[in-house]
Amino acid sequence: MKQKKAIIRDLTVGSVPRTLISFSLPLFLSGLLQMVYNMVDMIVVGQFKGTDGLSAVSIGGEVLMLITFVGMGFSNAGQILISRYVGAKRGDQVGQMVGTLFTLLEGLAVIIMVVFLFLYKPIIGWLNTPEEIVDYTRDYTLVCVLGTVFIYGYNLVSAILRGMGDSRHPFMFIAMASVLNVILDLLFVGPLDMGPRGAALATVIGQAVSFIFALGLLYRNREQIRFDFRPEHFRIYPGVIRPLLALGIPMVIQSAAITFSMLFVNSYVNTYGTVAVAVTGVARKLESMISVVSQSISSAGGAMISQALGAKKTSRVPKIVFHALWIVAIPSAVFALITWLKPEWLFGLFSSDEEVLKMAITYIPVAMVQYLGCTLRPANFALINGSGNSRLNLLVALLDGIFTRIGLSLLLGVVFAWGIQGFWYGNALSGLVPFLIGTAYLISGRWKNDMHRNRPATPE
């Protein structure tokens, strides 16, 4: 009988840069594919429905951020803790965390879906959605809300696999979803003329297929992950829920602060009309190309640091932070150069509207600041998240998400009367906050003490 290949990988051995690159590469490819199929929504809708459809998908994506930030926060916390348990050789707690994550996150998904079915229309109004695209935006948002269970499910299963050191399978599943999303986008938005609603439906179906296949992988490897998938074991385990909440709540608050502050800024941007909405939406998609690299390194580095701390190999931690920094810097510099030299070509992928392309040129200097933040953040986020420092996560959330982003945006956009440029710059400059805090944390050496405070508890 053929032996199953282990999905649990030890990230505390071997060369740091080689391990970081090999683990983050599938994460990068996964993020790239996910970004591409999100961009496909905008490209296809923009080509078939023009600037109105493009703007509707952009605002609908902002509402989707409100739906997903809770799941993303707890999924990331679960990934960090699973990595810690794997490093400390605590297989029993890995299984307990799997059961706890499923029960907690899918329960939250149902609650959030029901709540947003009543709230999505007022939220669209709160975002100052231009009247001419309200119907399109509602169509897109409603479908995304109905797919919450699948969106949460895919994210939690991927987090479990990444926490175990497996970044290859999440890439395979998202690749499957991406191909399906492109095909369905072209079908639903093109011949079936479903508009933004069709684009949202294609996205949700892609996430659902990914979730089902990922769930099958976990079930086939249930002995390795120490979870047998019996109904009675889908419950909250006291031994792991406390550290999950202790780390997850600040990460949720961090995501919430950033999400709400971005929506606050965007609500001002939306008052400048559909052209401004379209340019901002396309700019966010272009920035997400660098964010894909940034987030993959942050996630991989956080898992490596967490495993290293669990295994008490503290000497690897500064090396991981250093290598994470230069690995991100190279593609960031290349992409910044392309944006500077060929902005019309990049924005032209989404829209041929001359007004959109004209305004897009004014965004280029802002994009350079945004790319700098994407370069500097991941290494520091890897350290903060990997060490399990919940208080520092909360501090970053409040400074980055509330005081800096909203404060700078209002200062530059309203007080200094820079207009839309002020809101763009306020959002971009806030991205430098995690770098400043994380660098001070690394130099202080306090993360070594946090290792002892956050190490796995004994079973109850």
Domain ranges of the chain: 16-453
pLDDT at 460 over 60: no
pLDDT at 318 over 60: yes
Check residues 349 and 113 and name the one with the higher pLDDT: 113
For 306-317, what is each residue's pLDDT tens digit?
Answer: 888 888 888 888
Other beta carbons less than 10 A from residue 318's beta carbon:
16
Supply the pLDDT for residue 6.
59
For 18-71, what is each residue's pLDDT tens digit?
Answer: 888 888 888 788 777 776 766 677 777 777 777 777 777 777 777 777 778 788
Supply the pLDDT for residue 320.
92
pLDDT at 427 over 70: yes
CA atoms of 120 and 116, how far apart (whole Å):
5
- Report how far apart, in Å, the C-alpha atoms of 46 and of each of 33, 42, 153 are: 19, 6, 29
pLDDT at 451 over 70: no
Supply the pLDDT for residue 338.
81
For 170-209, what is each residue's pLDDT tens digit?
Answer: 888 888 888 888 888 888 877 787 777 888 888 888 888 8
Check residues 9 and 183 and name the one with the higher pLDDT: 183
pLDDT band at 263 (very low <50, low <70, confident <90, very high): confident
Burial label for 239, CB within 10 Å (0-12, 13-18, 19+), is middle
For 397-411, what is each residue's pLDDT tens digit?
Answer: 778 767 788 888 888
Q: For the chain, give the mean pLDDT.
A: 81
Supply the pLDDT for residue 2.
43
Task: Find the mean pLDDT for residues 63-88.
Answer: 82
Supply the pLDDT for residue 5.
57
Q: What percent of the chain has pLDDT over 90?
A: 2
Supply the pLDDT for residue 450.
59
Evaluate whether 113 touches 146 at the Cβ level (below 8 Å).
yes
For 239-253, what is each residue's pLDDT tens digit?
Answer: 888 888 888 888 888
Structure tokens at 75: 């999924």
Supply the pLDDT for residue 459.
41
Supply the pLDDT for residue 207.
83
Check residues 458 and 204 and name the one with the higher pLDDT: 204
pLDDT band at 3 (very low <50, low <70, confident <90, very high): very low
Chain centroid to CA 315: 29
Buried b vs exposed e over 325-349: b needs ≥16 C-beta within 10 Å?
bebbeebbeebbeebeeebeebbee
For 356-375, what is each residue's pLDDT tens digit?
Answer: 778 878 888 888 888 888 88
pLDDT at 333 over 50: yes
Supply the pLDDT for residue 38.
66
